[in-house]
Amino acid sequence: MILVDKNIESLVSQGKLIKSGFDEENLGSISYDLTIGEIVIEENDSSHRAESFDIAPGEYVFIKTKEELSIPENIMGRIAQKNSRMRMGLYVDGPHYHPGHITYAYLRVQNISSNIITIHTGDKIAQIIFEELKEKPRELYGEGQHNAFINEKNFVGMGKYTKKYSKSIQKFEKVKEDIESKESQIYGNVLTLMGIVAAVFSIITINFEAFKQSNIDLRFILIMNISLVFTISVFFGLAYLIVNKTSKKKLGWPYFLLLSIIIIAFILVYIFVQ
């Protein structure tokens, strides 16, 4: 049986359902509107709080409600969408709150629209529906092993499930790295082919123009071609760094050895070839 407004109000007056943060204006006929108390921003394995947040398309953020729940042993709480938020393009999701669960609600708010949507503390974000159970369950939330998120005053992420699910998350990160690596290889191969074509074309064109001159000598031809090879090599190095800027790949010693050989060849030709 779903509790109606007067049922909710009566239980709240007894310190049940909503332990703190209750606002009579948020009470509906069959539900209660939950409001944003804090916005939880997760960054680099840590989190901080914000008063407002711009949610980009496809992005999500967790919020902590102003209301602290205290679910009686014969009732459960179910999070539901607010019609107005749904029409904005926000998808708000949360767990079922089991009998015996005392906690602030932590809800995931995702932007599924094509616009940036700003949320603020104090905004109504979702509704909770309370349902009376046929009878008291054998075990309440917080008893036995079902207590990972009991009395959650500060966001704990996955709590005690972090170790259990961390391998799955790492596998996804590994797949992501592999995809980025393949993408870099493709770009690198394309740039290499383009560079080779450009290099060959440049060498042929420059040498053709040079040989059209009647006063050229061997020294000039060698210096010109060595300079061109050096320039092309530097270009390849820069292209490699740009393509692999998101990975840990660096230019190896063979590349620098090649540049050193080209520079030495240039110096030798410049000094000894007349």
Q: Return the pLDDT at 129.
A: 98
Read off the pLDDT of residues 109-134 as tens digits, 9 standing for 90 and up. Answer: 999 999 999 999 999 999 999 999 99
pLDDT at 150: 65
Is residue 153 pLDDT above 70, yes or no?
no
pLDDT confidence bin for 199, thresholds 50/70/90: low
Q: Cα 101 to the chain's mean position, in Å?
A: 30
Question: 141 falls in which pLDDT band (50, 70, 90)?
Answer: confident
User: Residues in the chain, how many?
Assistant: 274
Alpha-carbon span 177 to 19, nearest angstrom: 45
| 158 has pLDDT over 60 | no
Q: How many CA atoms lie within 13 A of 229 on its CB side?
A: 17
The band of 6, judged by pLDDT with boundaries at 50, 70 and 90, is very high
195 pLDDT more than 90: no
Which pLDDT score is estimated for 31?
Answer: 97
Please give the Cα distance from 155 to 105 (Å, whole number).
Answer: 10
Two tokens, residue 148: 């990972």
Average pLDDT over residues 218-246: 72
Cα–Cα distance measured from residue 152 to residue 62, given in angstroms and rounded to the nearest whole number: 14
Between these two residues, 180 and 70, which has the higher pLDDT value? 70
Rounded Cα distance between 35 and 26, Å, is: 9
pLDDT confidence of residue 116: 96
Choose among 11, 3, 10: nearest CA to 29: 3
How high is the mean pLDDT of the chain?
A: 81
The percent of residues above 70 in pLDDT, for the chain, comes to 69
> With helix as H, strand as E and coil as C, how does the chain read?
CECCHHHHHHHHHCCCEEEECCCHHHECCCCEEEEEEEEEEEECCEEEEECEEEECCCCEEEEEEEEEEECCCCEEEEEECCHHHHHHCEEEECCEECCCCEEEEEEEEEECCCCCEEEECCCEEEEEEEEECCCCCCCCCCCCCCCCCCCCCCCCCCHHHHHHHHHHHHHHHHHHHHHHHHHHHHHHHHHHHHHHHHHHHHHHHHHHHHHCCCCCCHHHHHHHHHHHHHHHHHHHHHHHHHHCCCCCCCCCHHHHHHHHHHHHHHHHHHHHCC
- Give the residue-averaged pLDDT of 83-95: 94
From the list 21, 208, 24, 20, the residue with the least C-alpha distance to 9 is: 24
Residue 156 reports pLDDT greater than 60: no
Question: What is the distance between the alpha carbons of residues 135 and 112, in angstroms, rounded to a whole number?
Answer: 38
Radius of gyration of the chain (CA): 33
Mean pLDDT confidence for 177-194: 70
- 145 — pLDDT class (breaks 50, 70, 90): low
pLDDT tens per residue across span 18-50: 999 999 999 999 999 999 999 998 776 666 788
CA 263, chain centre distance (Å): 45
* The pLDDT value given to residue 258: 78
pLDDT at 159: 57
Residue pLDDT, tens place only, 234-271: 777 776 666 666 555 566 777 788 788 888 887 887 77
CA 40: distance to chain centroid? 14
Between 199 and 160, the higher pLDDT residue = 199
- Please state which of the ranges 73-82, 155-164, 185-194 shows the lowest mean pLDDT: 155-164
